[in-house]
Structure 1
Amino acid sequence: MTGKCPVMHGGVTTQPMASTEWWPKSLNLDILHQHDSKTNPMDADFDYQQEVKKLDVDALKKDLHNLMTQSQPWWPADWGHYGGLMIRMTWHAAGTYRVADGRGGASTGNQRFAPLNSWPDNGNLDKARRLLWPIKKKYGNKLSWADLIAYAGTIAYESMGLKTFGFGFGREDIWHPEKDIYWGAEKQWLAPSDNPNSRYSGERDLANPLAAVMMGLIYVNPEGVDGKPDPLKTAQDVRVTFARMAMNDEETVALTAGGHTVGKAHGNGKASLLGPEPEGAEIEDQGFGWLNKTARGIGRDTVTSGIEGAWTTHPTQWDNGYFDMLLNYDWELKKSPAGAWQWEPIDIADAHKPVDVEDASIRHNPIMTDADMAMKMDPEYRKISERFAKDQDYFSDVFARAWFKLTHRDMGPKACYIGPDVPSETLIWQDPVPQGKTDYDLQTIKDKILASGLTVTEMVTTAWDSARTFRASDRRGGANGARICLAPQAQWQGNEPTRLAKVLDVLKPIANQSGASVADVIVIAGNLGIELAANKAGHKLTVPFTPGRGDATADMTDAASFDVLEPLHDGYRNWLKGDYVVSAEELLLDRTQLMGLTAHEMTVLVGGMRVMATNYGDTKHGVLTENEGALSNDFFVNLTDMNYSWKPVGKNLYEICDRASGKVKWTATRVDLVFGSNSILRGYAEVYAQDDNQDKFVKDFVAAWTKVMNADRFDLN
């Protein structure tokens, strides 16, 4: 007789219902707890940014070059060279980046974990990472998985003849899946666009912030839209997808061609014979997925995408063979041995066919995907392809720069790059900011601001609006650079342009007279506002400040690329630009996670911002205090006071009434009341409402505020 398990556990077959499944309306705070320190195996004082500076880059480069041609019998290299496999691994790590929220990309090593390690489009990349394990083992803590995954593809290109643009180390590993990144609403892999949870609406409008066309793909379906070949329709998908990864048409053609100049696609067998992906594999498979246990399944018999063949005559050499092949032959649709649609040339000369990966005496037809054919059929892509075909040096330079952008876009500014191969050239997509001065008199500036007549609300909101654009996901935005003074930020609705212009008219002359940057003066003013508000509440303090921010110019700013940073909501200032399907409190969590804040930092900031009356448009919702403008814990005291009751009077508006008289005392929004209704947030609110924690509230608020103001000060790290 089989007995029941004597312990409580969360095994595959005994996983209990999660709280959010029992109560689906409950606010899930997991997005703010993704990388708790308890998941990190490194010592508390471990600093990867310092460790990687000790890395012997020349030795690493030599080892990677050697690895490329050391074929292993358990996963043999095509033509004896792993370059194509390593490039695909790097590309699929970096290619998850999307500009809308800055999430995805290669900067965390997230490809090691589900769901990415088991996406259909990442088939057999588990083998690429295992091939790299001896190198990771050798260099240990001086080399993160994230850096190694990004670097391997770059060295692969170099080993095949491309002059690369450069490389920056500094990507720090995570140790737990980023499960709360929204990859789409589909409930099945590779679901067509007419499925009930489609990411498309209208004619073919892809939902933000998504970039890939299907759940489980990095880019577009290589067989065509929903697997139906049509290069012109595919071209539309390619253009949208690559634009959402911050690439223009020229970069898109270069990346498509450069990615397919080397390596091959694999579909020489039956896909039905493949076992499950890594996360679904048996324990004895030790993290390997897509194993063929009934046939050979390696070398020429490998099945990955289902498409079979190389794109060029010499798939281990960097050359212009892609355009020679694409533009100089006519192509027809055929099916691969695995049953996938692919394009093959008509009447191709034998000498132009690539040789078999294992037997050089055998030649096969080259292939093109539907996306490749789009480079020929779409009028704009065709023009670019023809230019590249005529000028290989130009193509190589554009590709090298686009590849560098692809693999570094989510790392932030150059200050975050480490190593001997960091390019000296500064690129506009890196959001450059000049170094600001530090030798000015801080107290003189504070005195001038104090005498200017600006209110605490004006000082605090301007500093907040300047800093809140920071995204920890790709390290863009923030107060450094004072881009709130420039287009497009100066006119964003959420920045209240009229109020902003008034404040800047005061602060800019003070900056000019003192020698400080406007960026520094904006933060100084915000800090001064906090100090005045704290003093009004009986707390004398000085908010920490470190000078050195610079002022960006319009020439340093790719204005269009900043459009995606425009706030459409800000729970910290109790504002929604429109009416959204997602609740106001869920939007607050998303913004909080992007800013790199924790749940208790979010709590204390909201409470402090409310009592200082920093709401958008000077509304009084959530200003739960009789002493407006004082940095007190009144928001939490009154929110948790049972002498009041709460009732809805609109979709996002509530009245807080005195229980005894029934009179309306205050109004509040969902973002305010969630700190009393959600059990976790209420726990934080109660901490700050305690009589003995008034000092703690102010101390924690100042710490969280300073964290926001300094979030983009990478020069301080």
Structure 2
Amino acid sequence: MSNTGQCPVMHGANTTAEQTPAAWWPKSLNLDILHQHDVKTNPLGVDFSYRHALKSLDVAALKKDLHAFMTDSQDWWPADWGHYGGLMIRMAWHAAGSYRIADGRGGAATGNQRFAPLNSWPDNVNLDKARRLLWPIKKKYGNALSWADLIVLAGTVAYESMGLPAYGFAFGREDIWHPEKDIYWGSETEWLAPSDNDKSRYSGERDLENPLAAVMMGLIYVNPEGVDGQPDPLKTAHDVRVTFARMAMNDEETVALTAGGHTVGKCHGNGDAAKLGAAPEAAELHEQGMGWMNHSSRAIGRDTVSSGLEGAWTTHPTQWDNGYFYLLLTYDWALKKSPAGAWQWEPVDIKEEDKPVDVEDASIRQNPIMTDADMALKMDPEYRKISERFYKDPAYFADVFARAWFKLTHRDLGPKSRYIGPDVPTESLIWQDPIPDGPRNINANAIKADIAKTGLSISELVSTAWDSARTYRDSDKRGGANGARLRLSPQKDWLGNEPERLQKVLSALTPIAAQHGASVADVIVLAGNYGIEQAAHATNVTVQVPFSAGRGDATVEMTDAESFEPLEPVHDGFRNWLKDDFAVSAEELLLDRAQLMGLTAWEMTALVGGMRVLGCNHGGHEAGVFTDRVGILSTDFFVNLTDMAYRWKPTGKNSYDIVSRATGEKRWSATRVDLVFGSNSVLRAYAEVYAQDDNQQKFINDFVAAWTKVMNADRFDLVS
């Protein structure tokens, strides 16, 4: 056999999608969501601390450089009117605007705009140029400045340079190093698919699928031309209201952000969009990661094509002023098509002096424009009231916008304790989920001794501590045990928290906290730790679960109850509970929850096995409790799951019986979440480790480590 012309390299790096295990076996559980952002992907190494690196950042020099950058136009991508402010604001806005409150995913806190799919979304056309323009600044400040922080700071400084004082700014966003696989952006198979296609994100009377916020695949918010590209400001108003609400913005914040974002800069559609090349992820090698290139015409300056709409919103697009509301409310507007063929609104009989000048030739004036979303602020009755109030009181508008911009760009950074830098506002805002500092000098052993006297069971203690901590989301750093909001509405009434059992436990633990001068939050965690220590001791293993005092107790006044509603658990595989039937499997929901909590696959495995034998199932049901020694931290879940003396019989959509092969007698019951640890090859490998005769101690150690990680996930004060 001839080898002529054959490449000697195995092409594993070029494996096509059709050759992956997921393509061959599509029903196989994909654990990649728990394996992403491995330390191996980070070129800065495991010892690098961005928080430490930030201490060397010269913030004053950085801001001075950014101010100078705004008006230092680079020939390869010239600034409109000689000012990059509009472009930088759009970049920061589109980074932060991908956030949604339902699962806390998206947002600007990871610098994910650099990677697919966001770097190639149709709504992000030419934002790759914005980041390349900033490269000299990133290069200069190096590891002391993340891309994530730089992107948001550039937008904030842009506003400052155009006359809007910033409410504040915080550093602390740490870059990721490869695309995120954990974010569901929609089921559509094509960009900008209309809502009547077969994979629409809408149902009923324009009900948008959770957790999505944008109206189409590839958009940050709404379609600027109107619903499905058909102008109708009142219909668009509905989309705007839903989209911004899913970012935790009220009507006033929505109007302020829309108007403030469109007070400066312009849309670009002065050309043929069909001439644009591929997006960055599909661009040719020689384009060096830049997309949407047009090599057939000039395609820069006044001839740029981005959104397809063409024109500025205001008379002076490089100045912060009240010109947006002046034009919107003073003139009548009519529908027209941009040179690129996009629907836009243009004023009727506008005064020549109210027209903005051309971006390259100040002797030429062009019509301003409005999008369908802008017209919604004029035509929707509630938005109109707010718009008129802002028009009459420019100072109030500026203040509301500055605060809303700060919220937009910091919402996913987490609580105020994670903020770094000289411009962090002193004011605590309710959307930051403020929590007072808790006592640190408490006698943990004395508290545990009193907990032992309550007569509460191990499962009651452990389940309560778990329910308190499991709300934590690493996506936007919300939730967790700190604050003990389990005591408050709405959490105290959540079905997943078993309100009757919860009140029984809180009634016993709250007086103990008061007696010892401790926070209830700390006592709840200590109670769970005590339960685990007792369960481990029953296996003849002595272990002390690590504990760090200092959690505080939030008050009703510190709690935005409405914004906590999306944190309500409707499933919890760790406690073997599903509130309803879901379109995805129970095991996929478990992975989603584990990923949001920041857990690895082996940590998830250890926790599930331990929670089962401790009897922590929701409602005390028996599924998955593969042991006769409930309340003992044994490896029985894994031992009996992997025991070939049994076979597994489906009895329903999410229920199974484990029966003896010899007698056919039912031994245990199970759910999909239980059996996936035996069926999935990776999870079975972990389960077999814990089922080994020599790994009882290892299992307890791993369970305790994973448990402590969950309990401390929101203790940002413990991070150096």
Corresponding residue of 2:714? 712
Counterpart residue number, 2:150: 148
Residue among 210, 218, 221 paired with 1:219: 221
Equivalent position of 2:299 in the other structure: 297
From 414, 439, 442, the equivalent of 2:444 is 442
Cα deviation, residue 627, structure 1? 1.3
CA distance in 1 between partners of 2:14 and 2:207 (Å):
37
Q: Using the TM superposition, name which of 618-627 and 499-508 deviates more.
A: 618-627
1:662 corresponds in structure 2 to 664
Deviations 1:277-299 (A, max 9, x none): 11111100001111110000000
The offset of 1:261, in angstroms, is 0.2
344-353 or 47-56, which moves further after superposition? 47-56
Asked if 1:66 corresponds to 2:64, the answer is no
For the structure 1 residues 13 and 679, does the alpha-carbon distance in structure 2 shift closer, same or farther, using more than 3 Å as the test?
Answer: closer
One-letter amino acid matched to 1:426: S
Deviation at 1:659, TM superposition (A): 1.1
> For residues 345 and 175 of structure 1, what CA distance do their matches in structure 2 show?
46
- Give deviations 1:370-420, integer Å, cap 9, x for gaps: 000000000000000000000000000000000000000001100110000
Q: Find the aligned partners of 1:541 and 1:303 in 2 and give their Cα distance.
A: 64
Aligned equivalents of 2:14, 2:345: Cα separation in 1: 42
SS at match of 2:294: coil
2:706 counterpart letter in structure 1: A
Question: What CA distance in whole angstroms lies between the structure 1 residues aligned with 2:15 and 2:354?
Answer: 54
**Which residue does 1:255 correspond to in 2?**
257
Q: CA–CA distance in 2 between the matches of 1:213 and 1:388?
A: 27
TM-superposed CA distance for 1:16, in Å, is: 5.1
Residue identity matched to 2:256: A
Q: Deviations over 1:328-381 (max 9, x none)?
A: 000000000000000000000110000000000000000000000000000000
Residues 111-122 of structure 1: pairs in structure 2 closer than 5 A: 111-122=113-124
User: How high is the sequence identity, in percent, across the aligned residues?
Assistant: 75
2:181 and 2:619 mapped to 1: Cα distance?
Answer: 36
Letter in 1 for 2:259: A
Q: Deviations over 1:66-117 (max 9, x none)?
A: 0000000000000000000000000000000000000000000000001000
Partner of 1:634: 636
Other-structure match for 1:644: 646
Q: Secondary structure at the match of 1:692?
A: coil
- Note if 1:371 corresponds to 2:373: yes
User: SS where residue 74 of structure 1 aligns?
Assistant: coil
Shift of 1:8: 2.0
SS of match in other structure, 1:181:
coil
Q: CA deviation at 1:53?
A: 2.1
Please identify, of 599-608 and 651-660, the stretch whose mean Cα deviation from structure 2 is larger. 651-660
Q: Secondary structure at the match of 1:463?
A: helix
What SS is found at the alignment partner of 2:19? coil
Unaligned runs of 5+ residues in structure 1 are: none
Instruction: Tell me if the contact between 1:267 and 1:307 (Cα under 8 Å) persists in the aligned partners.
Output: yes
Match of 1:532 in 2: 534
- SS in structure 2 of the partner of residue 332 of structure 1: strand
Q: What CA distance in whole angstroms lies between the structure 2 residues aligned with 1:139 and 1:693?
A: 48
Provide the residue aligned with 1:477 in structure 2: 479
Counterpart Cα distance in 1 of 2:269 and 2:18: 40
The aligned counterpart of 1:164 is: 166
d(CA) in 2 for partners of 1:12 and 1:514? Answer: 62
The equivalent of 1:90 in structure 2 is: 92
In 2, Cα distance between equivalents of 1:416 and 1:547: 18
The CA deviation string for residues 146-201 of structure 1, in whole angstroms up to 9 with x for no partner, is 00011100000000000110000000000010033100000000000001100000
**Aligned residue runs from structure 1 range 182-331, under 5 A:** 182-331=184-333
Q: What's the offset of the Cα at 1:2?
A: 8.7
Deviation at 1:3, TM superposition (A): 3.2
Gap regions ≥5 residues in structure 2: none
Q: 2:336 is paired with a residue of what secondary structure? A: strand
Q: 2:342 aligns with which of 312, 336, 340?
A: 340
Q: CA deviation at 1:36?
A: 1.0
- How many Å separate the matches in 1 of 2:289 and 2:271? 22
CA–CA distance in structure 2, aligned partners of residues 393 and 323 of structure 1 = 13
Contact conserved, 2:18 with 2:24, CA < 8 A, in 1? no
Q: Alpha-carbon deviation of 1:203?
A: 1.2
1:702 alignment partner in structure 2:
704
Instruction: Name the CA distance, whole Å, in 2 between partners of 1:373 and 1:499.
Output: 52
Give me the whole-angstrom Cα distance separating, in 2, the residues matched to 1:498 and 1:13.
53
Partner of 1:575: 577
Quote the Cα distance in structure 1 between the aligned partners of 2:582 and 2:308: 40
Distance 2:562 2:182 in 1: 28
Structure 1 residues 290, 10: CA separation in 2 closer, same or farther (over 3 Å shift)?
A: farther
**Equivalents in 1 of 2:372, 2:622: separation in Å?**
56
How far, CA to CA, are the matches of 2:250 and 2:19 in structure 1? 45
- Deviation by residue 1:484-520 (Cα, 9 ceiling, x = unmatched): 0000000000000000000000000000111000000
Equivalent residue for 1:352? 354
Equivalence for 1:513 = 515
Deviation, structure 1 residue 11: 6.2
* Equivalent AA in structure 1 for residue 227 of structure 2: V
Structure-1 separation of matches of 2:15 and 2:55: 45
Which of 604, 622, 625 aligns to 1:623? It is 625
Q: Distance in 2 between matches of 1:155 and 1:466?
A: 39
Contact 1:9–1:15, Cα closer than 8 Å, also in 2: no
Alignment-derived partner of residue 691 in structure 2: 689
Report how far residue 38 of structure 1 moved.
1.1
Give the alignment's TM-score, normalised by structure 2. 0.99
Residue 581 of structure 1: how far off its partner (Å): 1.4
Q: Residue 649 of structure 1: SS of its match in structure 2?
A: strand
Counterpart CA distance in 2 for 1:547 and 1:12 is 50
Deviation at 1:6, TM superposition (A): 2.9
Q: Deviations over 1:286-337 (max 9, x none)?
A: 0111111000000000000000000000000000000000000000000000
CA–CA distance in structure 2, aligned partners of residues 585 and 618 of structure 1: 20
Distance of 1:242 and 1:230 partners within structure 2: 18
* Displacement of 1:15: 5.4
Partners of 1:345 and 1:620 lie apart in 2 by 68
- Return the alpha-carbon distance in structure 1 between the equivalents of residues 614 and 17 of structure 2: 45
| C-alpha contact (below 8 Å) 1:251/1:399 kept by paired residues | yes
1:568-591 deviation line (CA, Å, top 9, x unaligned): 000000000011111100000000
CA drift at 1:651: 1.0
Q: Are 2:8 and 1:6 equivalent residues in the alignment?
A: yes
Given candidates 568, 571, 587, the residue that maps to 2:589 is: 587
Distance of aligned partners of 1:689 and 1:663 in 2 relative to their CA distance in 1, 3 Å threshold: same
1:53·1:418 contact (CA, 8 Å) conserved in 2? no
**Structure 1 counterpart of 2:457, from 451, 455, 465:** 455
Q: Is 1:389 equivalent to 2:391 in the alignment?
A: yes
2-side partners of 1:13 and 1:654: how far apart? 37
Look up the equivalent residue of 2:450 and give its one-letter code.
Answer: K
In 2, Cα distance between equivalents of 1:572 and 1:16: 33
Q: Is the 8 A contact 2:32 2:181 kept in 1?
A: no
Contact map agreement 1:201 1:207 (CA 8 A) in 2: yes
Task: Please state how far the C-alpha of 1:46 moved relative to its aligned partner.
Answer: 0.3
The question of whether the paired residues in 1 share the 8 Å contact of 2:17 and 2:23 is answered with no
Q: Which amino acid aligns with 1:526?
A: G
Distance in 2, matches of 1:272 and 1:13, equals: 31
CA contact (8 A) 1:10 1:16 kept: no
Shift of 1:49: 1.1
Query: How far apart in 2 are the matches of 1:215 and 1:3?
Result: 43
Shift of 1:441: 1.4
The letter of the residue matching 1:373 is M
